[in-house]
Amino acid sequence: MKKMVSLGCLVVFLSAPVFAQDKIDAPAWNVGDKWTFTGNGTIEVIKGDQSGYILEFSERNCVVETQGCNAILFEKSNRNRIYAVEGDKRKKYVMGLAKIFDFPLMLGKKWKHAYSAKTIMGGAYHPVSNDYSENYTVVGWEDLQVQAGRFKALKLEYKRITTGSSSSWGGTGEESNYLYWYSPEVKYLVKCQYDKDILKGSKDIFNWELISFQLKK
């Protein structure tokens, strides 16, 4: 009987960290945390308070991740993008990738987001406005090697579908698929892989990965 009790305790003890790893809560960002990516891109935490965290995006060739915003306020609990920040002014964030972070993350989790925006081509906004549906799925863990090192990362599938357009040639029904990898150790995304069809003929959109990072305590 004593052996059975001991074995039961051991099972409970061993299963706890596995369960904890399957559910990833929002990271504890600190002012000064900084991530550097291929394509001359950097992201840095410049402010944190009760409302969330403001992250500053450097000017870079790829405008898709920033959606044209130099600074973005991320909500504290789930890290949704809620405001575009310019100096002391805050404007509601209405662009894409608003919910690329939607903590807690766990295997199999799915979520959606819809938004309308002008198209971005060649680094500039065009007058055509499209409606989009974004669909996210957490598909699993991977041991991922990037320039910054090897990390255990959660793989996210991202699908964007054009559901409407202000132009008859706006491409309603078009679908693009990307892959993102999030590392709890790094506290941010470490890699993005774009749909190969989206890459054709556009130098402003490219795959990227983490080169280096610094985390403040």
The three state secondary structure string of the chain is CHHHHHHHHHHHHHHHHHHHHHEECCCCCCCCCEEEECCCEEEEEEEEECCEEEEEECCCCCCCCCCCCCEEEEECCCCCEEEEEECCEEEECCCCCCCCCCCCEECCCEEEEEEEEEEEECCEEEEEEEEEEEEEEEEEEEEEEECCEEEEEEEEEEEEEEEEECCCCCCCCCEEEEEEEEECCCCEEEEEECCHHHHCCCCCCCCEEEEEEECCC
Query: Higher pLDDT residue, 103 or 202?
Result: 103
Domain layout of the chain by residue ranges: 28-214
**Range in 56-70, 73-87, 115-129, 140-154 the model is least confident about:** 115-129
Residue 69 is predicted with a pLDDT of 85
pLDDT tens-digit profile of 50-81? Answer: 989 999 998 765 556 778 789 999 999 999 99
CATH class of 28-214: mainly beta
Tell me which of 54-58, 103-107, 189-193, 195-199 is least confident.
Answer: 195-199
Average pLDDT, the chain: 83
Highest mean pLDDT among 20-24, 168-172, 203-207: 20-24
